[in-house]
Amino acid sequence: MKNKYIPVIGLEVHVELKTKSKMFCGCDASYFGEEPNSHTCPVCLGLPGALPVPNKKAIEWCLKIGMALNCKIPLVSKFDRKNYFYPDLAKGYQISQYDQPFAENGWIELTLKDEKKKKVRIRRVHMEEDTGKLLHETINGEKVSLIDFNRSGVPLVEIVTEPDFESAEEVKAYLKKLQQIIRYLEVSDADMEKGQMRLEPNISLREFRIQNSEFRIDENLPSYKVEVKNINSFNFVEDAIEFEIKRQSKILDEGKLPTQETRGWNEDRKESVSQRSKEDAMDYRYFPEPDIPPIKWKQEQVDNLKSQMPELPDVKIERYVKDYGVTYYNAEIIAREKKLAEFFEKTIEVCEELKNKKENSLDYKTITNWIINKKIDPEKILPAEFVTEILKATKVEGIDEAELESILKKIIDGNEKVVNDYKSGKENAIMFLVGQAMRELKGKVKADEVKEKLQDLLK
Amino acid sequence: MELHDLTITQTKKALLDREISAVELTKLYIERIKSLDEKFNSFVTTTFDKALELAREADNKITQGMNLPLLGMPLAIKDNFCTQEIRTTASSFVLEDFIPTYNSTVAQKLFDAGIVLLGKTNMDAWAHGSSTETSDFGSTKNPWDLTRLPGGSSGGSAAAVASDEVLAAIGSETAGSVRGPASWCGIVGLKPTYGRVSRFGVVAMGSSLDSPGPMTKTVEDAALLLEVLAGKDPKDATTSDHPVKKYSQGLKDKKMMTIGISDEYFENAEKEIGEKVNEAIKLLEKLGHKIKKIKLFNPKYAIDVYTILMRSEVSSNLARYDGIRYGFGRDRFGEEAKRRIMLGTYTLSSGYYDAYYKKAQKVRTLIIEDFKNAFKEVDVIIGPTLPSVAPKIGSTANNPMFGEMADILVEPSSIAGLCGINMPVGFDSQSLPVGMQIIGNQFAEETILNLAYQYEKETQFWREKPKIK
Ligand SMILES: [Zn+2]
């Protein structure tokens, strides 16, 4: 039988926050294209005696991500040290969070093919710091490794899901949605190419059998887990998952169990390569960071932060469908990026104002269609200019929709024969009605527009 | 009386009255260090050029009528405080050539207050020890008996103050590193409440315990220094915004107190030490203070808690010394540092964490509670600082737990983050200094300084000087 296995996939995503300063010191947190080691200080260089002081803004943003993912915000949280040696890790440990993350037990709802919904559980959202960057170069014929500490201490948020995904498609839907939420919160640009968003899926396969003509899925999670690292695009994550499913299926088919290990994704060869087995798994010797007192929130502080949350895409889409009669399909396109959604909403505001002043305005459908069809760039045009432009283009000058409709209806009523001709298939007959209308309207409306409107009315 | 016998208050008066200039004063101390330090080895690095430069600046300021709390005062700082452009080694060869680019908050505050820095004092390497014998720059010797240990880890600071090489010095205590050497060298040593003085720029040992503090001839000097050092530091998230008092002015009015005495502290000390401390307690009683018997946890439990917590933190804190960015490689770590890294790595390992670190944290909470309850009944607690007088050099060999045993009486209060002060209470039959500690509640520095000052007024032991041969 074909699908003997159901993939069990969990995801760890690192998001680099775009705070002005680093996580534990005052250094400029931007590092892309900067002179190496120009944004450093005793703290992010791990000099003797330097102490970390947490960045309040970064912590608030971490909480916001947690809130956007429907997480619980515990009132007490703390930082821990994750100890390991690596040349790019200045202190010999990374300040992270172990057993008391800033946010936990959330969920996110995905929209899959055919508007099918799926809820994925979020295990935790926690805060940590980035490491420096190793550069391997040849200087004067000598191979050397250099370290750039500009990235050292840049705030990172790690978002961990439960192993709820069953396909690469679901994973991709999740990543897109997560990226969208992060961008809506304006806490990171979540640009994969710049390493602002990093993905680590863990994949295993669960067997299912057919017993008494019923599907029986093994209720327990698989006893192994394969983590794949070095994935830097949404497409590669799909490739990597597909590859792993095939690789692990083959092993299971042979009656063996895949090794629990960490594998690296090789994008050129489109395959994963073993990096570290379970036996070599690191013991990070976590313990509470003594340099930073536990962080305690008052419920008011959490509530206050919640009240500052922007409206998120799901809510917007729902509202657009309900309040403006926009189709789900169109609402989703408009809400995809916050800037466009805001442009849409401002355009509606402008039109409402015009209506209130009894001036020429536009209906929701026209606004929606124009925004989508003209691929509006909200950076390049103001909502008010946009409205004027549409009004000019449609030339509904000095006449509003209702008036136009009543004039056209009068013409339809007065030309019964022509209407009947048109309805019986003589499409050209409509041009007579257009001519009548144009005379009546004295050029206030374009002929095309009149024709379209008449066609609508004659349906 | 000679100039180097004077306290900070007296020296400053002489400077402001123009009886002597800061440069003359500094030269006098430099000469003293030059002639004496071969005997004691109190210093890892001397900064005489810098000192003279600072002294000239101080003289200029005095001429301009300026006044600063420590203007022109010749001081030394323990070598685990980072000092900008001045070598800072923590007495380890790993940092033999390390010159910091920045000042620790303590050093910065002292410079801002006008001090003349004479040098960086010797210590146990990385502050690992209670004798200075683990220093890669050789042990410091006790000025009262050159064949004996000065205590540690701030042994260089203690010896320098006791021998009048400096007017005062800065030490740091994790558990006993200020009070201990102060006791064996017969000086005043104040360990402030954890979080009272910034740790920023102090080469970290046990991060949840480290407390910088003054080591001085008199209580008033300690109070003056604490005024300068204490306070919230935006660079150290563990410092408290508890208000900083005018500690030196709080000394004058004699407060009557209830003094707690716990037998466990005397049982763990040598008989002669206990007797000396008891004499001091009797004197305080005569002054009108109430003595109350209390029962504290046996301090021996604190040894286990301290050993586990501190080793764990050490193993993590020393991870950065990989020789990649500064200093030398790990091969330069001494035996004691290696032992501590190994033990701390073990106690934090998965599978052992719960049995060691977590359990130690729980006992720590119990010890904190124990003191909290005690301070509901008493204002201060008094006991011997160390169980014995200064032992002979070499006596710590083959005893890796020497420090923990020697510091048994100061560990509980360190673990609880309390403040404490060592006061000289006279000499034993071998003419070696004996010390008692006055332990106060968190942020009760004013209280312990007040009682210490009352005692000092009556006894004046600080006027006794070692006969340096
Ligand atoms: Zn920095």
- For B299, phi and psi rounded to 5 degrees? -60, -15
Does the residue B25 lie in any domain?
Answer: yes
* Model confidence band, residue A397 (pLDDT cutoffs 50, 70, 90): low
A88-102, A205-219, A377-391, B155-169, range with the lowest pLDDT = A205-219
Q: Which residues of A touch B (CB under 8 A)?
A: 42, 45-54, 81, 83, 85, 87, 90-93, 147, 283, 285-287, 290-293
Does the residue B468 lie in any domain?
Answer: no
Same domain (yes/no): A106, A202: yes
Q: Which residue has the tokens 């016998």?
A: B5
CB contact under 8 A, A85 and B238: no
* pLDDT single digits (tens) A192-235: 999 999 999 999 999 877 766 776 777 778 999 999 998 989 99
The DSSP code for B355 is I
pLDDT computed for residue A1 by the predictor: 43
Distance of CA B389 to the CA centre of its chain: 17
B398 has a pLDDT exceeding 80: no
Does the residue B251 lie in any domain?
Answer: yes
**Chain A touched by B194 (CB under 8 Å):** no
User: What's the Cα-to-Cα distance from B79 to each of B45, B51, B125, rounded to whole Å?
Assistant: 8, 16, 9
Please give the average per-residue pLDDT across A436-446, as a whole number.
78
Q: Which residues, 6 or more positions from A448, have their beta carbon under 8 angstroms from its beta carbon?
A: none
Instruction: Provide the shortest C-alpha distance from residue B412 to chain A (in Å).
Output: 18
Same domain (yes/no): A379, A273: no
In chain A, the number of structural domains is: 3
Of A355, A375, A394, the position where a domain reaches its end is A394
Same domain (yes/no): A96, A221: yes
Q: B396, B152 in Cβ contact below 8 A?
A: no
CB contact under 8 A, A47 and B100: yes
Which of the residues B104, B135, B153, B154 is marked catalytic? B153
* pLDDT single digits (tens) B55-80: 999 999 999 999 999 999 999 999 99
Same domain (yes/no): A51, A159: yes
Does the residue B406 lie in any domain?
Answer: yes
CB contact under 8 A, B237 and A51: yes
B78 carries an active-site annotation: yes
Does the residue B375 lie in any domain?
Answer: yes
pLDDT computed for residue A209 by the predictor: 72
Same domain (yes/no): A266, A166: yes
Percent of chain B with pLDDT over 90: 94
CB contact under 8 A, A46 and B208: no
Please give the average per-residue pLDDT across A148-155, as a whole number.
98
CATH number at residue A446: 1.10.10.410
Percent of chain A with pLDDT over 90: 67
CB contact under 8 A, A48 and B98: yes
Closest CB to B200 among A49, A54, A83: A49
Same domain (yes/no): A223, A288: yes
Same domain (yes/no): A181, A212: yes
* pLDDT single digits (tens) B310-360: 999 999 999 999 999 999 999 999 999 999 999 999 999 988 999 999 999
User: Which residues of chain B does A293 touch, with a Cβ-Cβ cutoff of 8 Å?
Assistant: 237-238
Q: How high does pLDDT run on average in chain B?
A: 96
Q: How far is the CA of A153 from the centre of ligand 1 (A)?
A: 7
CATH number at residue B446: 3.90.1300.10
User: Which residues of chain A does B238 touch, with a Cβ-Cβ cutoff of 8 Å?
Assistant: 51, 290-293
**3-state SS class at A239:** helix
Of A258, A276, A307, the position where a domain reaches its end is A307
Q: Which residue has the tokens 């006993």?
A: B176
Neighbour count for residue B130 (Cβ, 10 Å): 29
Record the pTM: 0.91
pLDDT computed for residue A113 by the predictor: 87
Of A307, A337, A356, the position where a domain reaches its end is A307
**3-state SS class at A146:** strand
Does the residue B111 lie in any domain?
Answer: yes
- For A16, phi and psi rounded to 5 degrees? -90, 125
- Among B265, B292, B293, smallest CA distance to B277 is for B265
B429 carries an active-site annotation: no
pLDDT computed for residue A396 by the predictor: 52
Comparing A362 with B327, the larger pLDDT belongs to B327
Please give the average per-residue pLDDT across B238-263, as a whole number.
96
Same domain (yes/no): A352, A298: no
pLDDT computed for residue A395 by the predictor: 61
Which of the residues B12, B21, B42, B78 is marked catalytic? B78
User: Which residues of chain A does B77 touch, with a Cβ-Cβ cutoff of 8 Å?
Assistant: none
Q: How far is the CA of A21 from the centre of ligand 1 (A)?
A: 8
Please give the average per-residue pLDDT across B124-140, as a whole number.
96
A16-20, A265-269, B277-281, B283-287, range with the lowest pLDDT = A265-269
Q: Which residues, 6 or more positions from B191, have their beta carbon under 8 angstroms from its beta carbon?
A: B173, B178, B179, B211, B213, B410, B414, B419, B420, B421
pLDDT computed for residue B1 by the predictor: 65
- Structural domain span for residue B380: 3-463
**3-state SS class at B402:** helix
* pLDDT single digits (tens) B193-225: 999 999 999 999 999 999 999 999 999 999 999
For an interface test with B, which of A23, A149, A284, A285 has the most B Cβ atoms less than 10 Å from its Cβ? A285
Alpha-carbon gap, residue B310 to B206, rounded angstroms? 5
- Structural domain span for residue A422: 401-458
pLDDT computed for residue A441 by the predictor: 79
**3-state SS class at B270:** coil
B13 carries an active-site annotation: no
Comparing B126 with B300, the larger pLDDT belongs to B126
User: Which residues of chain B does A290 touch, with a Cβ-Cβ cutoff of 8 Å?
Assistant: 206-208, 238, 313
Same domain (yes/no): A334, A416: no
CB contact under 8 A, A48 and B204: yes
Does the residue B98 lie in any domain?
Answer: yes
Please give the average per-residue pLDDT across A271-281, as a whole number.
82
In chain B, the number of structural domains is: 1
Closest CB to A91 among B104, B236, B320: B320
pLDDT computed for residue A376 by the predictor: 83
Same domain (yes/no): A275, A350: no
Q: A239, A266 in Cβ contact below 8 A?
A: no
Same domain (yes/no): A287, A340: no
- For B294, phi and psi rounded to 5 degrees? -130, 170
Same domain (yes/no): A270, A349: no
* pLDDT single digits (tens) A30-46: 999 999 999 999 999 99
A300-309, A440-449, B43-52, B400-409, range with the lowest pLDDT = A440-449
**Chain A touched by B184 (CB under 8 Å):** no
Comparing A281 with B409, the larger pLDDT belongs to B409
* pLDDT single digits (tens) B274-322: 999 999 999 999 999 999 999 999 999 999 999 999 999 999 999 999 9
H or E element that contains B216: strand B211-216
Least CA distance to B312: which residue of chain A? A287
CB-proximal residues (5 Å) to ion ligand 1: A 25, 27, 41, 43-44
User: Which residues of chain B does A46 touch, with a Cβ-Cβ cutoff of 8 Å?
Assistant: 320, 325
Alpha-carbon gap, residue A195 to A287, rounded angstroms? 28
**Chain A touched by B349 (CB under 8 Å):** yes
Tokens (6 digits) for A379? 């950076």
pLDDT computed for residue B220 by the predictor: 98
* pLDDT single digits (tens) A56-99: 999 999 999 999 999 999 999 999 999 999 999 999 999 999 99
**Chain A touched by B208 (CB under 8 Å):** yes
